[in-house]
Amino acid sequence: MTSRAVVLGGGGVLGIAWETGVLAGLAANGVDLREADLVVGTSAGALVGAQLACGLDPEHLYARQLEPPAGERRPKSSPLGLFRMVWNLSRSKTSQEFGARMGRIALAARTVPEAERRAQVARWLGDEVREWPDKRLVITAVDAESGEPADFDAGSGVDLVDAVCASTASPGVRPPATIGGRRYIDGGMRSPAGVSLAAGYDRVVVIAPITRGGGIMPGVEQQIAELGDGVRTALVTPDPRGWRQVVGSSMGNLLDPARRAPAAELGRSQPSAEEVAAVWRD
């Protein structure tokens, strides 16, 4: 029997919007990725993946992304934060060392209270997403102290909202998530998307706003290649010109809720249905 997996990568607030638009555009063209046997979510993709695995209507989720921000605050970020990440990535000899370095930055940063952040994530997920779905869902994160990777699923005993909080905890911007006495940070600190977790599946669709790795962090294309020649794959990434227009000149704009609607519209307009359908359907 053919097994199918969907992998959703990181990309901030705009990544959530763009991925949601992609899912809605695919569904409108007869490609419903809710049929997946496995959903893997990293960072922004953790939130979208949880909604997908729980069976929420992509069109309804897309409509949410078009709504005005309604006073939602843009978290503080700076070019220094990006510089720190790149510098630590270049200095680290292992992915675990890089995770621990970024964990120290996250633990020392002043951000909103953890309870406030959790309430925000719960609102974004929606009332329908509180329990782990029957479908297999894996959410990636990194232990802030040890730098070790962490994968949360229904069997981990971790609350679903807490798992999404952990995976979306951008170092220096969002507070690390406390789970079982440990602190966890963004799953994007180990990879832009957790493609390797789809190993063993016959067909894999990867939806990734950001694909580049660097240093000891594997990029998306590298992980896809490592799945093996017998796996049918499709990679959906943003239209470069359209993405630059939406994001602008600063990577900090990935966290700007005022740009959410254009990002969602860009995702929905992606001409990717035919390519994905060729992998997804028999």
Positions marked active-site: 43, 186
Between CA 126 and CA 47 the distance in angstroms is 10
Q: Which residue has the tokens 């705009």?
A: 14
Q: For residue 12, which of 44, 42, 37, 39 has the smallest C-alpha distance?
A: 44
Distance CA 223, CA 226 (A): 5
The overall longest dimension of the chain from CA atoms, in Å, is 50
Residue 279 near residue 203 (C-beta atoms within 8 A): yes
Alpha helix segments (H runs only) across the chain = 12-28, 44-53, 58-65, 79-91, 95-108, 114-125, 160-167, 220-226, 240-247, 260-268, 273-280
Q: How far is CA 34 from CA 51, 53, 281, in A?
A: 9, 6, 13
Tokens read off for 120: 């925000």
Are the C-beta atoms of 100 and 146 separated by less than 8 Å?
yes
* Distance (Å, whole) CA 97 – CA 147: 6
Q: Which two tokens stand for residue 131?
A: 């329990």
